């Protein structure tokens, strides 16, 4: 019985293969990034590469999770399979024991058959001796002219019951030699009985032989079942462990590409900033720009969330916050939330000193940034007095208003920055 590739195993193969294809695509694109424009706008080639790498990482993470899940399932199945192996081995041992008993019964039956044949041979010898005696009597009767009809019956009859009936009729006519005649009748009846017993013993020996053969076949079948079950479990474990290893290696490779692209994206943004020669600490109309950013952000409430990132009409959290300030004329770059929080276009402010339009960050550990302890969620403060802010929350809620003072999920704020350029 050969193990079959399960539906889940086929899913693992597909989940592992897709990110591997992406490695080649992203790796090639990253080798020749586009030159930054004079006036900085999000670089489409590098942004596309980052998004593709991010999607690949998510796919790799999913493949690893699926592979690990199926490996865990295989490990859970192992005790049951091992129990089945033990049951099969026990069945094999029981069948072998039954075979041993049956073969012992065969030997015993064969001995009984041999002993019965000895008895039959002895009885037949006694009958033959009496027949010799009867033949002598017949010759004497013939010589003396006596009645030897009864003797002929004794010599010719093969059926003891037929012989007895015929002999009874003859005995009404002749009573001579009655002792010898009675003895041979008894012996012939005894012979018939022993022949019947022999037939029964031979049938029993044959049946015992068949039982022994059947149990031998059962023992062999049970042993084969146990071996097949053990092999199936081992192949299942090996195959799924290989899927986990492949998925993990794929994720590691994609993570390296992803981090490299983030660094390149950050470098391009900073290079563009230098070329644009934006030197002022703030720019005129910052407060008006902040108010415009808030108005735009609130106007987007109800729009869909994009788990792959987006800057409209569906949004990722960083793309949403960037779009609000981009609409206000800011040069604040479109980066990952971690990098947005440390951008040269912003300055840190205390949460207590926050104003409308300030950008607020959290470490949600939501899987959107693969760096250790990275800031990975961002929103726009609407009313710092009440704690209201607007953000692209998740796939269920989309763009919505939340409260960092009253909602426990948002009370552990990682950073607040003010966009100054």
pLDDT, average across residues 29-38? 34
pLDDT, average across residues 83-88? 76
Q: Where are the domains positioned within the chain? A: 282-421
3 pLDDT above the threshold of 80: no
pLDDT at position 40 is 32
pTM recorded for the entire structure: 0.42
Q: Which helix (H) or strand (E) holds 48?
A: helix 44-144
pLDDT at position 171 is 52
34 pLDDT above the threshold of 60: no
**Per residue in 5-30, pLDDT tens?**
344 444 433 444 444 444 443 443 33
Percent of the residues in the chain that have a pLDDT greater than 90, as a whole number? 23
**Per residue in 174-193, pLDDT tens?**
444 566 667 767 767 776 77
pLDDT at position 241 is 78
Are 374 and 364 in contact, with CB atoms under 8 Å apart?
no
418 pLDDT above the threshold of 80: yes
pLDDT, average across residues 156-167? 56
pLDDT at position 80 is 76
Q: In what order do the strands lie in the sheet with 388-394?
A: 346-348, 413-419, 359-362, 377-383, 388-394, 398-403
Are 362 and 377 in contact, with CB atoms under 8 Å apart?
yes
More confident of the two residues 110 and 396: 396
Q: Which residues contact 285 (CB under 8 A, 6 or more apart)?
A: none
Identify the band that residue 382 occupies on the pLDDT scale cut at 50, 70 and 90. very high
CATH class name, domain 282-421: alpha beta
pLDDT at position 404 is 95
Q: Which helix (H) or strand (E) holds 78?
A: helix 44-144
Q: In this predicted structure, which of 15-29, 259-273, 327-341 has the lowest mean pLDDT?
A: 15-29
């Amino acid at each position: 019985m050969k193990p079959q590739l399960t539906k889940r195993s086929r899913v693992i193969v597909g989940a592992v293969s897709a990110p591997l294809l992406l490695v080649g695509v992203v790796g090639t694109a990253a080798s020749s990034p586009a030159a930054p424009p004079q006036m900085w706008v999000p670089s489409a080639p590098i942004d596309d590469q980052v998004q593709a790498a991010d999607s690949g990482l998510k796919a790799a993470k999913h493949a690893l999770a699926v592979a690990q899940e199926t490996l865990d399932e295989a490990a859970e199945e192992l005790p049951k399979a091992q129990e089945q192996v033990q049951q099969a081995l026990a069945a094999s041992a029981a069948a072998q024991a039954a075979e041993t008993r049956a073969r012992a019964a065969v030997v015993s039956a064969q001995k009984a058959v041999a002993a019965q044949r000895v008895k039959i041979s002895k009885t037949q010898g006694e009958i033959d001796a009496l027949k010799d005696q009867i033949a002598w009597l017949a010759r004497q009767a013939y010589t003396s002219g006596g009645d030897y009809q009864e003797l002929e019956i004794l010599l010719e009859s093969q059926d003891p019951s037929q012989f007895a009936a015929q002999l009874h009729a003859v005995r009404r006519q002749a009573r001579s030699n009655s002792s010898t005649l009675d003895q041979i009748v008894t012996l012939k009846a005894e012979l018939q009985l022993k022949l019947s017993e022999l037939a029964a013993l031979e049938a029993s020996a044959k049946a015992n032989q068949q039982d022994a053969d059947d149990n031998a076949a059962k023992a062999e079948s049970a042993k084969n079942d146990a071996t097949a079950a053990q092999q199936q479990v081992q192949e299942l474990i090996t195959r799924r462990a290989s899927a986990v290893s492949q998925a993990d290696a794929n994720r590691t490779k994609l993570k390296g590409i992803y981090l490299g692209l983030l660094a390149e994206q950050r470098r391009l943004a900073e290079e563009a900033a230098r070329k644009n020669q934006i030197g002022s600490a703030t720019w005129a109309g910052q407060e008006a720009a902040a108010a415009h950013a808030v108005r735009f952000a609130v106007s987007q409430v109800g729009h869909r969330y994009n788990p792959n990132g987006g800057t409209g009409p569906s949004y990722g959290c960083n793309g949403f916050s960037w779009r609000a300030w981009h609409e206000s004329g800011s040069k604040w770059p479109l980066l990952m939330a971690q990098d947005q929080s440390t951008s040269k276009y912003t300055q840190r402010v205390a949460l207590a000193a926050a104003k409308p339009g300030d950008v607020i960050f959290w470490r949600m550990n939501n899987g959107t940034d693969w760096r250790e302890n990275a800031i990975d969620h961002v929103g726009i403060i609407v009313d710092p007095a009440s704690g209201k802010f607007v953000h692209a929350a998740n796939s269920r809620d989309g763009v919505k208003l939340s409260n960092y003072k009253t909602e426990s999920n948002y009370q552990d704020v990682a950073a607040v920055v003010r966009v100054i350029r």
